[in-house]
A and B are shown apart, each in its own frame.
Chain A
Amino acid sequence: MALFLAVAAHFVAGFLLLFGLRRQPAIGAVAGLLVLLATAATVVVGGVGADEPLRATVGWIPILGFNFVFALDGFAVVMALLVSVLGFAVLLYSLAYFDHDSTFARFIGLFMAFAGSMTGLVLAADLFTMFVFWELTSVCSFLLIGLNDKSESARRSAVRALLTTGAGGLCLLGGVGIFQVQLGTTSFAELVSLAPTGDLIDVAAVLLLLGAFTKSAQFPFHFWLPGAMAAPTPVSAYLHSATMVKAGIVLLARTAPVFAESGIWRWAVVTVGITTMMIGGWHALRQTDAKLLLAHSTVSQLGLLTVLFGIGSPLATFTGVAHLVAHAVFKAGLFLGVGVIDHEIGTRDVTRIGVARTKLRGTVVAIMVCTLSMAGIIPLFGFVTKEKALVALLEADFGTVGWVALVGVVLGSVLSVAYSARLVHALFGEAGQQVATHADGHGTDATHHGASSFARVVLAAPVFATAAVSLIFGFVATQVGKWLVAPSTSLDVAAKSKLVLWPGINDALVISVLVILVGVVVGWRMPLAVANTGGSRGERAFDSLYDAILTASKRITRVTQPGSLPMYVAVTVLVVGIAAVVSIAADGLPTLDGFVTDSPLTVVVAMLTAVLAVGIAVVSMRFTAALFLGGVGFGIAALFLMRGAPDLALTQALVETLTIVIFLLAMRSMPRQFIPASKWAPVSLRVLIAAGVGVVLPMVMLAAHSARRAPSVAGEFVSRSVDEAGGANVVNVILVDFRGFDTLGEITVLVVAALGVVNLVRVAERHRRARERKLATTTQSDAGSAT
């Protein structure tokens, strides 16, 4: 239960800020910080060193078997700690980063909602729970990327991210559905023990992979992540490098033990992972915006994590957990550090940020430490995990695919070192000498007015902290390794290993040294100033697909919704009529079994009604037709009454009364006479259709009447009406109780229709006014020119 409360507290804090505390964002931020701290404490107390993972099940829709199931196993502990501790750091940082206005309140509100979603996601013990929080993170990410809703590029990026991750979410839902239907469970633990196989399970595996790849920005869905950098820096640091993009990795980590040995899983994970690593690394070398450089480097690092978690070897899984921690720490530090430079100097351009090293010496050193960890240089934590990754891949025994993974990771690491070197070059190289102080065109989101000294400390603190952790974890790697055993064994019982700072001279170290040498040379030689390419290929492909879908749907709408009422009516009745003809052709003509006439008066009223109906079709004045139509309605009401349905008759009569009035109101603004039939639908055709349908539909009704197979529910309804629903009028009881959902749906339709009418009239009115105004101005100018 503590787990559920921890997750829920985030949302409560978030909603408070979004709807209540908009004027006092600082108070809300403090509340948020407390929630994050409390969550971290809960996780540590409940999770660290526990023999059995803490569990919590909270019913959602128990009738349908939908529940929130949380479990605080080792891996969940690590992830939840990353989410809450990094969240704490980023939130603290944002207090100094943003102006304290209503946008800031919105930011914290969404931030807390996001942190809650992410905590729920990592604590999820089954796929269903994970899916729910997965979608929530997508939505929060969308809102946070578009935080600056006045910028068109931010809105576009937000839509791209939402549609891409949303499509992946649908794939994940498909996978969840297959498991639920095929196996009756989506619990990770049960999936691992069942070890299902089969064609459908393979489909599910592919769907899960698609979900993971879109979320974690793997090729070919990697384009949305750099676009997400339109968000303010704290958002980028938290969501798009340290936490949310890890959701896909978490999914892979949880499901790899189920699928790693089956079919295409390993190949898919390895090829996609290393492709992503290369593409991300290459793009990182070609960016001029330091934040985009980091974004592409995140894509590249996520590729590595995909390979490590997806390949399904115990050692790789262990390394994956370690590298995930390392990456979250150094990447958060890098983003926040670049944010500090942006905030203080007003630029993120790699040709200019060198200025920072005189002004922000401490921050630049901290960034440097994080960069070295990213490059995998001894003695930082990044070195330890990168080494371990090479060892894991060297030792893995997967044949060709293992070698592909190894070569890919080595090449990807060269690129990692290269872009890290390029960043160092930007900060310390000769380029920094050319001082350019004013802001450039890189759309900085910070209000770079030079923060107060206190704010400067708050800004720098998380950067220093992450740098310190990257450094200290390197030196105490052995201890960190011990901590990480429980998390990795919770994913794969065999994933037990150790971390060391100095592994001794072995194959992996030799490879590492070569990688670093080549990488540094490549990175240092790469020019800092690169021509702007304007949007990535992925983004352009996405946009053209998006536009094509919109165009196609517009075209389809234009064909299916031409706006001609006669056509709509014709299509509707023809479809019904044809369906009836087909079924009559199959089953023969209906009999007259159910047909009874209990009084001659019924026949008289029916015939009168029919005459009025013919009248509607014959008269030329709209007004007369409306009156006839009302007459038909009252005739039917009379028939209802005669057949013993007073409720129906009452309602019908009332509806008719009101309809006539409304008809007349609408008619005030319509021509008095009907418009002559158009050429494509001459009178003869209309008569033909009407007569045909008029002959066929009564037959359908007769058939429906005599086609009953199951016993009528009427008897049951009548017998249960008084006892269970407390009403003697069974018609009403059906409406408000037995079939109340139908009624609820109907009144909702009524609401929509009412709103539709109001808006249609309003739009027509606006058009009319605009026309009049235009007319007035032209007459005026005419008059003016005349004088």
Chain B
Amino acid sequence: MIFRRSVILDELVDRWLSKVAALVAVYLMFRGHNAPGGGFAGGLVMGSVFVLQFLTGREPHLRHRPIRRPTVLLGVGLLTALVPTVAPLAVGASPLESHIWKFDAPIIGEAKLVSSTLFDVGVFLVVVATVLMVLLSLGARGTSLVGDDGGQAP
């Protein structure tokens, strides 16, 4: 990408906003079961993080490592969502039936984990991967669908 670099964008977006937004994304995913949010929304926020990075003129990256093959993430996400779908069959329950674990965690007290959270994690990963794939392929340098390099010029 040939963007002019901006200190504000670099500092603000890449250093701080990305990190906060990534936290928000994960938070949205986990709280989804009880309050607005969920894997889809969380994944979209995470996707926006990468879009932001992209708009500041960098490749989408995670902890300084550029993400080049989101396809893997796509597959991992779909498989993750399949686990809680299929696993109940092994114990004789119907597919996607939720199992609720309750336990006492240190500091936060009584906690609850529902098996369908894993399903939401899968949705999260698929959504993130989809955004990344679209971003990387459509945003790639020199990409041209009809031969006219419309908005390419700096």
**A751: interface (CB < 8 Å):** yes
**B87: interface (CB < 8 Å):** no
**A567: interface (CB < 8 Å):** no
**A762: interface (CB < 8 Å):** yes
**A575: interface (CB < 8 Å):** no
Q: For the complex, what is the distance from the CA of A561 to the CA of B126, rounded to whole Å?
A: 29
Given A651-B44, A666-B145, A728-B33, A740 and B96 contact (CB-CB distance below 8 Å): yes
**A58: interface (CB < 8 Å):** no
Inside 8 A of B55's CB, which chain A residues have their CB? 661
Interface hit among A4-12, A244-252, A427-435, A669-677: A669-677
> Interface residues of A: mostly helix, strand, loop or mixed?
helix
Contact of B36 among A665, A729, A744 (CB under 8 A): A729
**A726: interface (CB < 8 Å):** yes
**B23: interface (CB < 8 Å):** no
Interface hit among B6-14, B57-65, B128-136: B128-136
Which chain B residues numbered 98 to 154 have a C-beta less than 8 Å away from chain A? 98, 100, 112, 114, 116-117, 119-120, 122-123, 126-127, 129-131, 133-140, 142-152
Interface hit among A454-462, A502-510, A730-738: A730-738
The interface on chain B, measured as residues whose beta carbon lies within 8 A of the other chain's beta carbons, has a size of 62
Nearest A-chain residue to B47, judged by Cβ: A658
Q: For the complex, what is the distance from the CA of A729 to the CA of B129, rounded to whole Å?
A: 25
Q: Are A671 and B44 in contact (CB under 8 A)?
A: no
Interface hit among A200-208, A552-560, A753-761: A753-761
**A662: interface (CB < 8 Å):** yes
Inside 8 A of A661's CB, which chain B residues have their CB? 51, 55
Interface residues on A, range: 35 or more
Q: Are A736 and B41 in contact (CB under 8 A)?
A: no
Which chain B residues numbered 68 to 82 have a C-beta less than 8 Å away from chain A? 71, 74-75, 77-78, 81-82
Inside 8 A of B135's CB, which chain A residues have their CB? 662, 665
Inside 8 A of A63's CB, which chain B residues have their CB? 94
Q: Are A747 and B81 in contact (CB under 8 A)?
A: yes
Nearest A-chain residue to B75, judged by Cβ: A751
Least distance between B26 CB and chain A CB atoms (Å)? 15
**A647: interface (CB < 8 Å):** yes
Inside 8 A of A743's CB, which chain B residues have their CB? 81, 119, 123
Q: Are A725 and B114 in contact (CB under 8 A)?
A: yes
Inside 8 A of B81's CB, which chain A residues have their CB? 743-744, 747
Least distance between B14 CB and chain A CB atoms (Å)? 17
Q: For the complex, what is the distance from the CA of A73 to the CA of B134, rounded to whole Å?
A: 59
Q: Are B116 and A737 in contact (CB under 8 A)?
A: yes
Inside 8 A of B119's CB, which chain A residues have their CB? 736-737, 740, 743
Q: Are A654 and B48 in contact (CB under 8 A)?
A: yes
A164-203 CB contact bits vs B (8 Å, 1 = yes)?
Answer: 0000000000000000000000000000000000000000
Nearest A-chain residue to B96, judged by Cβ: A740
**A578: interface (CB < 8 Å):** no
Contact of A665 among B130, B138, B148 (CB under 8 A): B138
Q: For the complex, what is the distance from the CA of A735 to the CA of B123, rounded to whole Å?
A: 10
**A438: interface (CB < 8 Å):** no
Least distance between A127 CB and chain B CB atoms (Å)? 25
Q: Are B138 and A670 in contact (CB under 8 A)?
A: no
Q: For the complex, what is the distance from the CA of A728 to the CA of B100, rounded to whole Å?
A: 13
Least distance between A736 CB and chain B CB atoms (Å)? 4
**B35: interface (CB < 8 Å):** yes
**A615: interface (CB < 8 Å):** no
Least distance between A668 CB and chain B CB atoms (Å)? 4
Q: Are B114 and A761 in contact (CB under 8 A)?
A: no
Q: Are B48 and A666 in contact (CB under 8 A)?
A: no
Inside 8 A of A667's CB, which chain B residues have their CB? 150-151
Contact of A672 among B94, B116, B150 (CB under 8 A): B150
Least distance between A660 CB and chain B CB atoms (Å)? 10
Q: Are B98 and A737 in contact (CB under 8 A)?
A: yes
Given A669-B145, A740-B96, A725 and B150 contact (CB-CB distance below 8 Å): no
Inside 8 A of A658's CB, which chain B residues have their CB? 44, 47-48, 51, 131
Inside 8 A of B116's CB, which chain A residues have their CB? 725-727, 733, 736-737, 740
Given A732-B32, A765-B143, A668 and B74 contact (CB-CB distance below 8 Å): no
**A650: interface (CB < 8 Å):** yes
Least distance between A383 CB and chain B CB atoms (Å)? 55
**A546: interface (CB < 8 Å):** no
Inside 8 A of A741's CB, which chain B residues have their CB? 85, 95-96
Given A741-B96, A761-B143, A651 and B33 contact (CB-CB distance below 8 Å): no
**A764: interface (CB < 8 Å):** yes
Q: Are A754 and B130 in contact (CB under 8 A)?
A: yes
Q: For the complex, what is the distance from the CA of A748 to the CA of B123, rounded to whole Å?
A: 10
Q: Are A735 and B138 in contact (CB under 8 A)?
A: no
Nearest B-chain residue to A728, judged by Cβ: B34
Q: Are B100 and A726 in contact (CB under 8 A)?
A: yes
Q: For the complex, what is the distance from the CA of A725 to the CA of B131, rounded to whole Å?
A: 29
Q: Are B148 and A671 in contact (CB under 8 A)?
A: yes
**B45: interface (CB < 8 Å):** yes
Contact of A754 among B133, B143, B147 (CB under 8 A): B133
Q: For the complex, what is the distance from the CA of A735 to the CA of B119, rounded to whole Å?
A: 10
**A220: interface (CB < 8 Å):** no
Inside 8 A of A729's CB, which chain B residues have their CB? 32-38
Nearest B-chain residue to A646, judged by Cβ: B36
Pairs across A and B, CB under 8 Å, 8 listed: A669-B147, A729-B33, A729-B37, A732-B34, A735-B38, A741-B85, A743-B81, A764-B145
With A732-B120, A737-B96, A748-B78 given, can you name 4 additional A-B contacts, CB distance below 8 Å? A658-B47, A740-B119, A744-B82, A762-B137
- A interface residues (Cβ-Cβ under 8 A, vs B): 63, 646-647, 650-651, 654-655, 657-658, 661-662, 664-672, 724-729, 731-733, 735-737, 740-741, 743-744, 747-748, 750-751, 753-755, 757-758, 761-762, 764-765, 768, 771
